[in-house]
Structure 1
């Protein structure tokens, strides 16, 4: 890129940058607020910084790593999907969900995905590259700019395209940046990291001492079916994945969320629910049931009936497993779970 990105820098890194320009450390806090809290796109907006410093920063650094290329809005659920263009021409999608209790966002951690889950759109084109910490955080900042004055983003889920734990260092730095009080100031308890079951990453995350929520994509109650749906299950068995999830809950005191996509006639039968309840019995667990969202490239999979979803939920709850059915948000614009990718459909597009 030629210039050093400011978004992605920690307060200490900004202080070091400014010290090299002969500026006192207190300027770092001011700069950090402009970059993260206010999300400005122009150095001229940084009115409490000396003009000379603004000129130096404009010569040596860049403010934003993303450009909004397009957006689609689902009026029924008040959800907006954004297509962002990166400096190398790559594109990623992110989702802003406006809800009664606050604004939440679903952000992407990789351009594409190599996990190969057979029900998901994000993996269709494979993995292009990891996102940097700055590119991850800038998605939140760019979407916050879209909100009316006075509104903030209150929760973040790292559930967009990609496997977060395969981009561990950048993801962890991004999470710490989201939490900075002088920036986005998002509480750790309002941040969720979703994984397909990268066992070493799950165990490493448990040791970080951060009270974030871990969401494990399970999607099957046994090894054979899980391997059919999720190639990653050929590396780590369901027993290994569940052991890592339980260890995370014990270490952090945080209840693990188990994501379970319900696919008609594949993994949504009473026998699957009974087996899942048996697996999770006694764990600090919450099951999030997700009726399959349509994916053009996966015509073999269908959404189950509401009766089958209700029956599955009932079996889990009767075994004492806390269970919810995820409210679909953004289905009309291919922004729901399993539908994100690194391009956007042309229908309903606004520039």
Structure 2
């Protein structure tokens, strides 16, 4: 029988596993801390575990890390890791250091099935969901590699955003245990306010997340009406805007923040006119407490789309702000290593040609949205 990957378990799951080995709950807590807080990979390193337990773990359990294919460090401190998840597939994580936070952008799927027109991940196709262990392995690697590099035992990553490859809420069963490990005081001890799930609008799963593990929520809106959103975000045909907004408003009753972040990729001549801004104001004003994060589009050939010009973005942002809606314009990070929004490059299996040929395609990566009070500092 294959050894189980301990990264696949939240504390509750690890406790059940230890009980199967005849061990008490506190042993699971010790083991959990060794894995996530101390980054141990060898059971013999876990000095306060009973020798009998260490012996039991040998052969039945492992800590399965993701092989690192490449690491690129930007001049602005951003770091991009490419991880091998097998079968010719790879996913990427991006670390974004700032003065007041250190954010890690994590992938939840190899590829994506949603197929948003402006996001190149959808153009490369969907391969599979990541396991809980593969989601957490990205955080595990970043946290402990950075601690070693910086010569500290203090926690480095302060914010996690599920904004890399994939639609997190379409991988719900693996996502929730991973979130619980991030939040657990015996794990990474992150605040619910500092863990964000970004979704294209999977309404039933938003409702489930509210009950199971409410964290900060970001929604890829990108259009003020159903006709346009149907074109840009195809899942809108299944869950139209009014259903999405109702789910978001309901989510706020349990959310750690009192607003929903709406992400809006600025596309030249497509969704960036004054009329679009007025439609957005009418759509949300008085209906839901929210903030808008306007994202510069990084073009790729298959999209047929272009980035809105900076003056147009600023005018759009000003209209929203003048209507009393907190609005930020996302600054790009890691441009020189292709780690900016829409520029992440994942080596993925070419599903149409030779199986062993690898190609590089950009995938969307988004950085943590600033707090409402920080909008002037982040706008440009």
**TM-score, normalised relative to structure 2:** 0.85
Number of aligned residue pairs:
344
Taking the TM superposition and a 5 Å limit, the aligned residue runs for 1:308-347 are: 308-340=312-344, 342-343=346-347
The alpha carbon displacement at 1:14 in A equals 2.4
1:227 alignment counterpart: 230
1:12 alignment counterpart: 12
Distance 1:12 1:114 in 2: 31
* Ranges of 4+ aligned residues in structure 1 off by more than 4 Å: 344-347
2:28 alignment counterpart: 28
1:154 alignment counterpart: 158
Give 3-state SS (helix, strand or coil) of 1:95's partner: strand
8 Å contact 1:112–1:342 — kept in the other structure? no
Give 3-state SS (helix, strand or coil) of 1:19's partner: helix
Tell me the alpha carbon deviations over residues 64-107 of structure 1, each in whole angstroms, 9 at most, x when there is no partner.
Answer: 241212111221x3111111112555321111111111211110
- Pairing 1:101–2:118 present: no
The alpha carbon displacement at 1:226 in A equals 1.0
Give 3-state SS (helix, strand or coil) of 2:250's partner: helix
Give 3-state SS (helix, strand or coil) of 2:276's partner: helix
8 Å contact 2:338–2:345 — kept in the other structure? no
- Pairing 1:176–2:198 present: no
Taking the TM superposition and a 5 Å limit, the aligned residue runs for 1:81-100 are: 81-86=80-85, 90-100=89-99
1:57 alignment counterpart: 57
The alpha carbon displacement at 1:341 in A equals 5.6
**Shift in CA distance, 181/89, structure 1 to aligned 2, threshold 3 Å:** farther
8 Å contact 1:122–1:341 — kept in the other structure? no
8 Å contact 2:176–2:213 — kept in the other structure? no
Tell me the alpha carbon deviations over residues 148-170 of structure 1, each in whole angstroms, 9 at most, x when there is no partner.
Answer: 22342111110111111111121
Distance 2:20 2:89 in 1: 32
Distance 2:249 2:229 in 1: 19
Taking the TM superposition and a 5 Å limit, the aligned residue runs for 1:39-54 are: 39-54=39-54
- Pairing 1:241–2:244 present: yes
Quick one: which of 246, 255, 260 aligns to 2:259?
A: 255
The alpha carbon displacement at 1:55 in A equals 3.8
Unaligned 5+ segments in structure 1 are none
8 Å contact 1:27–1:49 — kept in the other structure? yes
**Shift in CA distance, 305/193, structure 1 to aligned 2, threshold 3 Å:** same
1:130 alignment counterpart: 129
Distance 1:108 1:222 in 2: 28
Unaligned 5+ segments in structure 2 are 349-358, 362-380
Distance 1:332 1:272 in 2: 32
Q: RMSD between aligned alpha carbons? A: 2.1
**Shift in CA distance, 17/42, structure 1 to aligned 2, threshold 3 Å:** same
Give 3-state SS (helix, strand or coil) of 1:123's partner: helix
**TM-score, normalised relative to structure 1:** 0.91
Distance 2:250 2:24 in 1: 44
Distance 2:343 2:224 in 1: 23
8 Å contact 2:176–2:212 — kept in the other structure? no
Give 3-state SS (helix, strand or coil) of 1:101's partner: coil
Mean Cα deviation higher: 159-168 or 57-66: 57-66
Mean Cα deviation higher: 231-240 or 98-107: 231-240
8 Å contact 2:180–2:213 — kept in the other structure? no
